[in-house]
Structure 1
C-alpha cells in the first residue's frame, strides 16, 4: 500500500497558530497561498495549468549501489547521467540498471556538503554543466558531451563562473536552464548569513547567467544576481506558465518553497519562514525542518514534487490548490536528494543515505521510478 499521509494546514495568524500548537498532533505545514505567476518574456496570454498528478502505485528500483548521488540529468535522447558528490564521477545509467563511469570531473575537492553537485544540459553544442567544489571556491564548468548512449563521455572542461564562496555546508549547488534559455544556479550562504543580504556577493543567491557565464539582459541589479536573501536553496523548477519555484533549507524552524521573482529578497538571515515583513518576500509554503530539509524539485504536469532529506519523503504541492501539501513514502526509502520528470509522465528520484548523514541500507543508494496518475 502506497505510503501516503495528509498534513493539516497551519494558520498564519498568531492566535490560530497557538491554538493549533496546543491541539494538533501532526506537524504543521503552511498551505499554498495566493501566488504571483510571472510569465516568460514575450508571453502575454494566461494559460490554465495542467491536471494535477500524484504517485500511482509503488516505486520500482532502476539502479542501486550509488555513492552519495546528488543530481539526476535526463538527456533528450533518453540517456541518464547521475553525479556522485564525493567520488566526483558522472555515471551513465545503462538499460539493465547497471551504471558505468562516463567521466571523472577533475579538480573537485569534496568536503562536507561540497563536491560534485548539480548537472544541467544545453542541447545547443551538447554541453553538460556541473556545479562543483574546487580547492578555493564553488564554481560552474561545462564539458562537451561525447559518444552515444551506452558509451557517453565528457570532454575537456570550460570554466564559466568562479568565486562562489564554499564551506562545509550551505553550498547550494543546483543548476537548471530556464524557459528563457538562461542558466540558473543556486548558491548557499556558505555558513555566513550576511552574504545573503550583500548584493555584491554571489552567495545566498539564485544566479542567472548566459550559457557562457555572462550577465544577461533583464537581471535586476546588472549582475548575475537574480534573487537574494537565501540560506541554502537547492531545488529550482518552472511550471508550464513560467512561474519559477525554489526549495530552500531553513535553519531551525522553517524550510521553504518560494516563488522566485527577479530582484526579490527572501529575508535570510533577518527572517526565516513566513514573517509578514514588507521588506521581504514570504515563502508560499513552509515546513518544520524535521519534515523536509528540501533538496531537489521537479514539476510534472504542473504538480511540484519536492524531495526531503531529513524528512525522508517526497512532498507533492499543487500551485492552484488551497489545501496543504501531501507527503509520500515517508520513512520508506530514507533520505531523498533529487527528483526529475521521467519518461511517460513518471517521476524519478534518488536516495542519499550514503552521504554521511543517513542510515545506509544494503544496496544504497538507489534510483527509483514511480508512475503518476491524475488525482
Structure 2
C-alpha cells in the first residue's frame, strides 16, 4: 500500500436487538430477511474520566421535523456546515460540491472535484472543514478515483463565480483500497484537531485485519496527512481496525469517538472506538465476547439499519439508516446504553444518509433516494432540520 502526502502553505491552507439473518452489504441493499431490533495524546477515545458520574439520557425521546431546508439534491453524501453559515453538500455521482443556504434553501454549485470516478458506492463522499478554516479556507473531501480512494483538500474562494469556487485539489492521502462497494468515506476533524477518515474493505475481509492496509480502518492523521501524534501503531495512519464498512463517526461531550458500521448477514453495529482496537471483521460480526475483539455497544438486524452517518445530541447517538429507512436514537450513559434504542421517521422519508449536529437540540439530516437504490419522490433528495429530545 502506498501512501503519499503533500503539505501546502498556510495561505492555501459520529440494547441489543435480536433478528433473523439478512444482508447489509455495503449500503445494505441486497435483499434478505430482517427482524426486530432489540482527549489526550492518543486522541479522543483513548481514555476518559470514568470516576465522575455521568447522567443517563432519558429512556424515551422524541424527534420533530421542523422544516425542509432544501430539495432537489442529487445523490447527496457528505454534509459540512460552514462557520459563517451555509451547508456544503457533496454529490456522490456528479462529483460536485454545492453550498446550500440553510435559511432560504438556495443552492449554489461551488464546482466539480477533478478526478472523481463514480461507480457503485464510490464517488465524491465525505466532506470536512479545516480546523483553521478562518485563515486557510480549506475544504477536505474523500473520493473514489479510477485507481483508489483518496483524501484531498481544496481552497474555497467564495468571491469567484459560481462553479469556479474550488481550487485545485491537493492530495493529502492516496492508496486507500477502492471497490464497487465498501469504500467507507466519512471525514471529520476531531476535538484534537486531527482528521479522521473511515475506510471500507472493498469486499476483501482480510484487509480489515491487515494493519499494513488502509482498508477496513478508521484513520487518524494531521491536516497534512501525516500519522497523528500518539497513533497506536507508530508511523501509521491506522487508529482502529477490523472494520467492514464504517460510514459514521462523531464525538460525545467527553471526547469519546463513536462509529456506525455495516454488518453483513446478521448485525449492524454502533461502536465506541478505542485507539488500537480490533473490531472483529471478518472474524466477528456483532457481540460475540471473543478475546482480542471489541464488542459493539449496540447492534441491529441488517434490515432495520444499514447505518451511515451519526451525530451526538441531547445525550444520545442519532444514527441514519439507509435500508432501514429510519433514524435511530441510542441513549447513552457513559459508554453503555441507558435504555433500548428508539426508531423514528420509519419509512417517512425513505433512505437516510447523513446526520450532522446543528447545535443544541437540532440536527441536519439528508435523505438518499437518488443514489440508485431508492425510490425518488417529489423533491428528493432533501435536507431536513430536526428538533430532538
TM-score range, shorter chain: 0.7 to 0.9
* Count of aligned positions: 347
Within 5 Å, which residues of 2 pair with 1:119-134?
A: 119-124=127-132, 125-134=136-145
Within 5 Å, which residues of 2 pair with 1:134-213?
A: 134-147=145-158, 153-213=165-225
Distance in structure 2 (CA, Å) of the matches to 1:324 and 1:258: 15
For normalisation by structure 1, the TM-score amounts to: 0.86
Distance in structure 2 (CA, Å) of the matches to 1:62 and 1:177: 24
Gaps of 5+ in 1: 1-7, 13-24, 30-36
In structure 2, do the counterparts of structure 1 residues 42 and 158 end up closer, same or farther at CA, with 3 Å as the change threshold? farther
1:34 is aligned to: none
Deviations 1:210-269 (A, max 9, x none): 000001221111110000000000000000101110000000110000000011100100
1:245 is aligned to: 258
1:154: Cα distance to partner?
2.1
Deviations 1:100-132 (A, max 9, x none): 211210110001000000000113122110000
In structure 2, do the counterparts of structure 1 residues 73 and 38 end up closer, same or farther at CA, with 3 Å as the change threshold? closer
Distance in structure 2 (CA, Å) of the matches to 1:267 and 1:327: 26
For normalisation by structure 2, the TM-score amounts to: 0.83
Paired residues of 1:312 and 1:333 also in contact (CA < 8 A): yes
Paired residues of 1:49 and 1:241 also in contact (CA < 8 A): no
Deviations 1:304-340 (A, max 9, x none): 1100000000001112143211101000000000001
In structure 2, do the counterparts of structure 1 residues 263 and 141 end up closer, same or farther at CA, with 3 Å as the change threshold? same
1:153: Cα distance to partner?
2.6
Q: Tell whether 2:380 aligns with 1:368.
A: no
Gaps of 5+ in 2: 1-14, 20-33
Within 5 Å, which residues of 2 pair with 1:12-161?
A: 27-29=36-38, 46=52, 48=54, 54-94=61-101, 95-124=103-132, 125-147=136-158, 153-161=165-173
Deviations 1:165-210 (A, max 9, x none): 1000000000001111110000000110010010100001000000
- Higher mean alpha-carbon deviation, 226-235 vs 342-351, is at 342-351
SS of residue in 1 equivalent to 2:320: strand
Paired residues of 2:17 and 2:301 also in contact (CA < 8 A): no
Distance in structure 2 (CA, Å) of the matches to 1:185 and 1:110: 19
In structure 2, do the counterparts of structure 1 residues 343 and 136 end up closer, same or farther at CA, with 3 Å as the change threshold? same
Within 5 Å, which residues of 2 pair with 1:281-320?
A: 281-320=294-333
2:350 is aligned to: 334
1:144: Cα distance to partner?
1.5
Distance in structure 1 (CA, Å) of the matches to 2:342 and 2:159: 39
Paired residues of 2:241 and 2:276 also in contact (CA < 8 A): yes
Distance in structure 2 (CA, Å) of the matches to 1:146 and 1:301: 35
